[in-house]
A and B are shown apart, each in its own frame.
Chain A
Amino acid sequence: MKLAYYPGCVSRSTGKEMDASTRAVCAALSIELDELEDWNCCGATHVSNEPVATGLSARNMAMTGLPIMTACSICYSNLRSAVERLKDPETLDKVNSVLDKKYSGATIRHALEVILEAMEEKDERIVLPLRGLKVAPYYGCLLTRPRGVDSPEWPTMIDKLIIRLSAEPVDFRLKTLCCGGPIFMPRQEAAEDIAFKILSEAKRAGAEVIVTVCPLCHIMLDAKQKALEQKRGQAIGIPVLYVTQLAGIALGLGPEELGLFMNSVSPMAVVERAYQRME
């Protein structure tokens, strides 16, 4: 299978391990990725003007005829929203009038969907089944919104992947609560309140690891975790992995390839436990 790959801006900075693990897992599953040439920022959650946001996504989508995969839920949501808006002929004409290459439709896939589809049940490439590992499936908001893939209220895609890797999803009430990330720069306090709620709930639910599908959720729960613990005087200590990292561990890929040393809360103890359980 060959897909166009849209890495998104964070792949070059705060989401390097998301990008590394996505490429490694796809290679292991024989999914060929063709990176979009000269891609631009999708606008994330900070371009308020909808026609401009649509145009930014359309430029990316006009570069290929292949289905486009991204591992970032924000990029994913923006591209999918643009596809919807571009179904309106007036919007399409206007946007195409400013583009060099014209947009004529696109299929957008999240890395989670692609991996889930590529892995069969009892897939023999899963050399390290994660038996007994308790995982909090954290969906955040934009993976399933706007509507189109899975339920925007109570999605199950990540749970399915966790089960396919032989791990156990915990009952995680706050799985679709927004992490607060988009307002974190100007409104630190408000954003941190929400992130801490999610971490505390994962702890209460007995999770050994949290999995995410969005680099902003990842920053809020992983890179900020230590600071939040200090501020609130409550220990959390739960590693936060991208779904691609979790899948990569089960596929027997190495920590370097999966960027596991780039996570702030080290997942290495969890990985070691998984190896011990197998013996």
Chain B
Amino acid sequence: MTAILDDFKAEVSRLAGAEFLTCIQCGTCSASCPTARLMDPSIRGLIKLCLEGKREQAIDNDTLWLCTSCLLCTVRCPRAIRPKAVVSALKDIAEREGIKIRDATYERLFLKQIEDFGRIAELSLTGEFLLAYPQGMVQSMQMGLELLSKGKIGLEADRIQGRNEVKRIIEELR
């Protein structure tokens, strides 16, 4: 099946499965999505862009970053497409291209932490993100103080033994 696809569709297929090619545009995914009202294009529209091979529009939009990964679209799709997986594939392509958007920065920092430590240290992740995008500072500080007062902020990052193996997983499977 992949042999007759253009590079973009082939890449989405590799990452999210070829099922999206069978989309009938019924809109069940959009109707199920908790953040649908904020999205333009909708999830349905996003899959249409993929089917039409409109790569740039498909990877450069806010819709990708409004997905909460709740998987309701995926359990409901009558064609067994995994719309959330399509969103993830497009995010991954966008991230690899170094797209500049605050959400992509957050994901890049998140993966970097796994690569460096093997686990997430929420304090340094949040700190690094706020350095890059200080707009959320006030609210994050409020939250940080709340969590700190309850002793729920780990000040030090755990470092696992198998960091090389984790690095290999990230580098070689991507």
In the complex, A181→B70 CA distance in Å? 10
Chain B residues positioned under 8 Å from A95 (CB to CB): 173
Cβ A98 vs Cβ B153 within 8 A: no
Residue A186, interface by CB 8 Å: yes
In the complex, A7→B87 CA distance in Å? 28
Residue A52, interface by CB 8 Å: yes
Q: A41-B119, A56-B114 are in contact. Are A50 and B16 (CB under 8 A)?
A: yes
**Min C-beta distance of A239 to chain B, whole Å:** 13
Cβ A190 vs Cβ B160 within 8 A: no
Q: Looking at the complex, which of B23-31, B48-56, B162-170 is the stretch in contact with chain A?
A: B162-170
In the complex, A11→B150 CA distance in Å? 14
Residue B143, interface by CB 8 Å: yes
Cβ B169 vs Cβ A52 within 8 A: yes
Residue B123, interface by CB 8 Å: yes
* Contact-size category for B: 35 or more
Chain A residues positioned under 8 Å from B158 (CB to CB): 12
**Min C-beta distance of A95 to chain B, whole Å:** 7
Q: A145-B72, A146-B71 are in contact. Are A177 and B169 (CB under 8 A)?
A: no
Q: A178-B34, A185-B129 are in contact. Are A41 and B72 (CB under 8 A)?
A: no
Residue A203, interface by CB 8 Å: no
Residue B21, interface by CB 8 Å: no
Q: Looking at the complex, which of A128-136, A220-228, A270-278 is the stretch in contact with chain B?
A: A220-228
How does the 8 Å CB contact mask read for B123-156 relative to A, with 1 for contact and 0 for none? 1001001000100100110110011001111100
In the complex, A157→B91 CA distance in Å? 33
Residue A51, interface by CB 8 Å: yes
Please report the total number of A residues contacting B with Cβ < 8 Å.
Answer: 62
Cβ A226 vs Cβ B15 within 8 A: no
Cβ-defined partner of A145 (8 Å) among B67, B71, B139:
B71
**Min C-beta distance of A13 to chain B, whole Å:** 4
Residue B22, interface by CB 8 Å: no
Residue B110, interface by CB 8 Å: yes
Chain A residues positioned under 8 Å from B92 (CB to CB): 48-50
Residue A212, interface by CB 8 Å: no
**Min C-beta distance of A200 to chain B, whole Å:** 15
Chain A residues positioned under 8 Å from B118 (CB to CB): 38, 40-41
Cβ B152 vs Cβ A13 within 8 A: yes
Closest to B166 in A: A40
Cβ-defined partner of A14 (8 Å) among B88, B152, B162, B168:
B152
Closest to A17 in B: B152
Residues in A181-220 with C-beta less than 8 Å from chain B: 181-183, 185-188, 190-191, 194
Closest to A54 in B: B173
Cβ A152 vs Cβ B72 within 8 A: yes
Chain B residues positioned under 8 Å from A227 (CB to CB): 139, 142-143, 146
Residue B85, interface by CB 8 Å: yes
Interface centre among A59, A97, A99 (most CB of B within 10 A): A59
How does the 8 Å CB contact mask read for B93-116 relative to A, with 1 for contact and 0 for none? 001000000110011001101100
Cβ A183 vs Cβ B165 within 8 A: no
Residue B65, interface by CB 8 Å: yes
Cβ-defined partner of A186 (8 Å) among B74, B103, B160:
B103
Residue B120, interface by CB 8 Å: yes
Closest to B156 in A: A12
Cβ A98 vs Cβ B173 within 8 A: yes
In the complex, A176→B68 CA distance in Å? 13
Cβ B103 vs Cβ A40 within 8 A: no
Q: 8 additional contacts, CB 8 Å, given A9-B119, A183-B103, A186-B136?
A: A50-B15, A56-B114, A59-B166, A95-B173, A98-B169, A141-B70, A182-B68, A223-B147
